Amino acid sequence: MTPLQLVRRGAARRVELVPMTPLEQLRAGHLPRRLAQLLVGLVLFGISMALLLRARLGLEPWGVLQYGLVRHIPMSYGLMSIVVSFVVLLLWIPLRQWPGVGTVANAVVIGLAIDATLAVVPDVQGLGWRVLVMLLAIVGNGIAGAMYIGSQLGPGPRDGLMTGLSRRTGRSIRLVRTGLEVTVVVLGFLLGGILGIGTVLYALLIGPVVQAFLPLLTVRVQPPERS
């Protein structure tokens, strides 16, 4: 498996996401900086998910499922995010994947940040403000994703499920991701999840936003030496 290489537009700078085991992730250097970036990225990710909910114009695909589940199970939105994350991690077992520090932190910190934000931020009023908050939430989510991915401390539960399925089935990342997200959106919608223009814009914009910021936020690490 070769490192994923992303080239920053207009520059010769190459950024590598290095495939590593959990132990190698901790030994790859710059650990304090990477841990700090990971935590900041996860908190921002949770805040942006909460703001997307408060805008009431549609949630990201997994958010549609989580909100739909909350309508039937007495649980906060953030706690449901944590529960879904750990259920997804169980699906890693047959894929023979090991979670990293960032994977476990992703499952917990994002949910806590969601509930903390929802506790202090009310629903946004006025269509103009709702659209603005929706767009800020999507961009913020993309930046946050680039931050925690760029820390190179392990993928999030949902990201790892996507890459694991792609590796085991031989299907492309794009095809697997599309299949997963369509599935969770349909399930979430049937359960009463919030589906709207925000869902569509998220699907269209999140990839380009992460792509734009990942070269700036990826921490260079020392690749492991393997015989």
pLDDT per position as a tens digit, 158-173: 988 888 888 888 888 7
In a domain, 71, yes or no: yes
Burial of 51 (C-beta count, 10 Å sphere; 0-12/13-18/19+):
buried
Token reading at 58: 């549609």
Q: What is the pLDDT of residue 1?
A: 34
Q: Which residues form the domain of 152? A: 4-217
**How far is Cα 124 from Cα 131, in angstroms, rounded to an integer?**
9
pLDDT tens for each residue of 105-135 = 999 999 999 999 999 999 999 999 999 999 9
CA atoms within 13 A on the CB side of 38: 24
In a domain, 144, yes or no: yes
Taken in order 72, 59, 181, 157, is the CA torsion positive or negative? negative
Q: What are phi and psi of 58, to 5 degrees?
A: 115, 140
In a domain, 226, yes or no: no
Q: The whole model's pTM is what?
A: 0.88
Q: Is 69 helix (H, G, I), strand (E, B) or coil?
A: helix
In the block, which residue shows the tokens 């114009």?
A: 57
Q: Residue 226: which pLDDT band, with cuts at 50, 70 and 90?
A: low
Beta-bridged to residue 15, according to DSSP, are: 6
In a domain, 227, yes or no: no
In a domain, 86, yes or no: yes
* pLDDT for 69 beyond 50: yes
In a domain, 126, yes or no: yes
In a domain, 123, yes or no: yes
Structurally, how many domains does the chain consist of?
A: 1
